Structure 1
């Protein structure tokens, strides 16, 4: 297992990297512009209000968790501009060697294939570099865009968890999807999921 932080992953114009201090203005504008778009899918704490953590606190928490190897929080950027986030966590080692993947993207870039590519990059890194065995994604049944993402990535459906996660002010059902390392043929470059995705959906092909 090799855990590296800070971490940068790239595929063409797509770059995944840590949140930087100088990202604050752009990040806050992006979250505000997408507030209504993300509200139905954002996890919430039933004992606290739904306000987003202040940028400084969010970045500090991200850095602390990432340094210890407990989370892998990365921004999604295209041509140097912020477009969303993707996170793996909590990362469990030992006998489990698993994690849960979460993501969001700017509504203006939805359908462009950024999230499947970003997720493929992260999954390949988790399998090939960090030695994880299982990646899980949970999706609200109503979230058709995210269901399309797990379909493109060939994650297996594993059923429905009732009232699994507190989202948008209430306990919501979530569908569970998973992928294990044995289900991926990884090349010498460390890419397996991304290579398969690019074969089935070449980068210039619309992925909506």
Structure 2
């Protein structure tokens, strides 16, 4: 097996026109907890149940440690999204479940704080992470899944060039219930540039 050097370190910041992406840090705790608390009702329908201590500093510390371990193993690369104008945290995007070998694929997941939804930030984040996944990480396929009633997410993925592949029955436990998801994919040969 050939060792790939880019798998053993945190990813570099990714710079866009209106925002930049960088790996989460412990110093992001206050901004993260504030935004997540402010956006809780907006996010809960689309996410796994939040733990009772989800917004506590200790839980965030554990989250960062987990992120660092995954990045070191080359299995996931989480990023927080920050506006260029004021470095305000606006959401997060993760390239996770990275599988090497014959598959060379990964899964994209994302969230955006309610005050920043519908403003095109996540589309820009996808336009930054897609070339990173295909050129720097040398993945062949990206996947994303969303609940069929999440029309915003469906439109976002289609706009970014993802194609709907089908329905995943009872795929993820979201908001306390096993829910169907639509599977979308983007292949490195697709028109994403």
TM-score by length of 1: 0.83
Aligned residue for 1:157, secondary structure, equals strand
Aligned residue for 1:119, secondary structure, equals helix
The answer for the alignment partner of 2:48 in structure 1 is 43
Aligned residue for 2:161, secondary structure, equals coil
- Asked if the contact 1:44–1:50 (Cα under 8 Å) also holds between the matched residues in 2, the reply is no
Moved more, 30-39 or 4-13: 4-13
Task: Within 5 Å, give how 1:50-61 maps onto structure 2.
Answer: 52=54, 54-61=59-66
Aligned residue for 1:177, secondary structure, equals strand
Offset of 1:13 from its aligned partner? 2.9
Offset of 1:52 from its aligned partner? 2.5
Q: Does 1:70 align with 2:75?
A: yes
Offset of 1:180 from its aligned partner? 0.5
Distance 2:26 2:53 in 1: 20
Task: Within 5 Å, give how 1:142-157 maps onto structure 2.
Answer: 142-157=149-164
Point out where structure 1 has 5 or more consecutive residues left out of the alignment: 185-192, 196-208
The answer for the alignment partner of 2:140 in structure 1 is 133
- How many correspondences in the alignment? 183
Deviation per CA, 1:126-146: give whole Å up to 9, x if none. Answer: 101111000001010111110
Deviation per CA, 1:131-168: give whole Å up to 9, x if none. Answer: 10000010101111101111111211101111111000
Q: CA RMSD in A?
A: 1.6
TM superposition outliers: structure 1 runs of 4+ over 3 Å: 1-4
Q: Does 1:173 align with 2:172?
A: no
TM-score by length of 2: 0.89
- Asked if the contact 2:143–2:183 (Cα under 8 Å) also holds between the matched residues in 1, the reply is yes
Point out where structure 2 has 5 or more consecutive residues left out of the alignment: none
Q: Does 1:19 align with 2:24?
A: yes
